[in-house]
Amino acid sequence: MREDYRRSLETAARQMILVHRADTLARLILRTILSNLKVKHAGILIFDKKRDEYVLKVSRGRSGFKIPAGFVKVKKNNPLIRYFTDKRLPFPKNIILADSIHRLAARSGEPSKKNLKNFLKDLEINLSLYQAKACIPGFYRNELVGILFLGDKKDKSRFSQDELGFLAVLASDVVMALKNTWLIEDLNRQLAINKRLFIQIVSALASSIEAKDAYTSGHTERVVQHSLLIAYNLKHVLRTKSWEKFTENLKIAALLHDIGKIGIPENILNKISSLSDEERKIIENHPSIGATILGHVEELGDVLAGVKYHHERYDGTGYPYHLKGRQIPLIAAIVCLADAFDAMTMDRPYHKALSYKDAIKEIRKNRGKQFAPSVVDAFLRAYSSDAKG
Amino acid sequence: MKKKVLIVDDEKEIVEFLKHFLERFNVNAYTVTRGDEALDEYSRIKPDCVFLDIQLPGKDGLTILKELTKLDPQAQVIMITGKEDKEYQDKAKKYGAQDYITKPLDLSELKEKIEKYIIA
């Protein structure tokens, strides 16, 4: 018998490492218990922070005996909980055994301990309501995280010392594992908050360019939208390993694509008359300035390429690096088209806005010249229905 | 004579559990899992109390409640609700439900209701 438990515990422990979801884990442990102990039913009550009470999260057992998970809870003031949490109650906090309650009652026999007697009576009633023969607490530090409860054994025999030891180990393992999965869930939540914060800061940075360049109001946000729509229409041909990561980077690159304009004097940026060669060179350097600014942020990865090469042309006549064809990273090719499309459809100091229809024509004309063919195709899939209308 | 309760709920596990739970109070439990079977079964067994789930296939709980209290103005109905929904509970009271229980529930509360409405 002793050997069997050790093996079961080892198997359970090994599985626990592999399971990252709290409910899957709890179910697994109940299965281990039922197959080893031959009880009619068992369940795990887990403290629900939001409700501030203990809710039955998983259960197993014979039809009728099994208490449906989610159907039942135990309030904090229920004697089943108070037995373990109320420090004034002079009972061992390691287990409740229904068959041993009368012994506890006998110990608290004097008249002055009438309250204790009443408490135990109430406890007994609740044990029978839940048809629990044994309750094993799971503590983490000093807080009661959960309770494992078991019904009658099928052969009605009492739990042996070996069995109780086995259960105690399992209960504390459940608690540790639950705490870990909750910790991971908390971390993920925190991560999501940080990500949002990051995007907000990037957006604030992006709007600092718009504040400087009178003609770009709303431009950044539209480039983001165009870029994402193009990417969406590229999804089926893209062989990128992580689609989510790619679009995330694309979004940030689109937001920051003109960040380098911070380094360009305003009188050149907002000049209405035509630019001198020297002034043009200064403006055409903004992708490189942007890359230098963002180069300090190691984690940006692909984003940097998107900013650095968003004015390169497929035929190699772009600026400032004169890359061509496949040398231009996809992320940059997408931002390039999105940027150009928005520039065409908005009034600028140097040209009047084109209609959507004419702008789409213009993009189509530049397939394989200014723009990468695959990106143009995706763009057309996204926008050509607009052009017809 | 043993008291009789009709359980109207589509979740089989809950029905089975409630049935066994009631039997421990020496109450006979009858069950239906479809809303549109509730009325016929009620007329057939004339139970002392009905546990009625709000969401049911065939016919929803509030409709059944209305029809039940029309059929038998003395009917004792306890609604089983999925969450604290004040508006719904008010409606149920208006249509003649005696009380309601909210999932998840503490079994000592369920015991109190059984003692109050069925055994007493």
What are the pLDDT digits (tens) for A162-203?
A: 888 888 888 887 777 777 777 787 888 899 999 889 888 888
Look up residue A263 and give its DSSP letter.
G
Quick check: A25 pLDDT over 80? Answer: no
Q: pLDDT class for A389, splitting at 50, 70, 90?
A: very low
Q: Which residues of B touch A71 (CB under 8 A)?
A: 13-14, 17, 103-105
CA nearest B103 in A: which residue? A71
A52 touches chain B (CB under 8 A): no
| Shortest CA gap A125–chain B (Å) | 9
> Cα A385 vs. chain centroid, distance in angstroms?
35
User: What pLDDT does A22 receive?
Assistant: 67
User: What pLDDT does B86 receive?
Assistant: 80
Vertex A302, ends A299 and A307: CA angle to 5°?
A: 105
Q: Which residues of A323-343 are buried (b: 16+ CB within 10 A; e: fewer)?
A: beeeebbbbbbbbbbbbbbbb
Residue pair A381/A367 in contact (Cβ under 8 Å)? The answer is: no
| Shortest CA gap B66–chain A (Å) | 25
A55 touches chain B (CB under 8 A): yes
How much of chain A exceeds pLDDT 70, in percent?
90
Please write down the long-range contacts of A381-389, taking CB distance under 8 Å and 24 or more positions apart.
A381/A233, A382/A229, A382/A230, A382/A232, A382/A233, A383/A229, A383/A356, A384/A360, A386/A356, A386/A360, A387/A356, A387/A357, A387/A360, A387/A361
Q: Which residues of B touch A63 (CB under 8 A)?
A: 13, 16
Identify the three-state secondary structure at position A121. helix
Structure tokens at A5: 């438990």
Cis peptide before B47 (omega within 30 of 0): no
Q: pLDDT class for A16, splitting at 50, 70, 90?
A: low
Pick B107's closest partner by Cβ from A53, A64, A130: A130
Structure tokens at B16: 């089975």
Residue A104 or residue B11, greater confidence: B11
Residue-averaged pLDDT of chain A: 86
Residues 121-160 of A with CB under 8 A from B: 125-126, 129-130
Residues 18-37 of B with CB under 8 A from A: 19-20
Rg (CA), chain A: 34
A79 touches chain B (CB under 8 A): no
Spatial separation of the C-alpha atoms in residues B120 and B116, rounded to whole Å: 6
ipTM above 0.90, yes or no: no
Structure tokens at A238: 């893209």
User: What pLDDT does A109 receive?
Assistant: 58
A74 touches chain B (CB under 8 A): yes
Question: A324-347, pLDDT tens digit by residue?
Answer: 999 999 999 999 999 999 999 988
**List of residues 6+ apart from B115 with CB closer than 8 A:** B25
Look up residue A39 and give its DSSP letter.
B
Look up residue B30 and give its DSSP letter.
E
* Range of lowest pLDDT (A2-16, A364-378, B46-60): A2-16
Region label for A45, one of left (φ > 0), alpha (ψ between -120 and 50) or beta (otherwise)? beta
Quick check: A388 pLDDT over 50? Answer: no
Question: A143-161, pLDDT tens digit by residue?
Answer: 899 999 999 998 989 988 8
Quick check: B74 pLDDT over 50? Answer: yes
Is the CB of A66 less than 8 angstroms away from the CB of B20? no
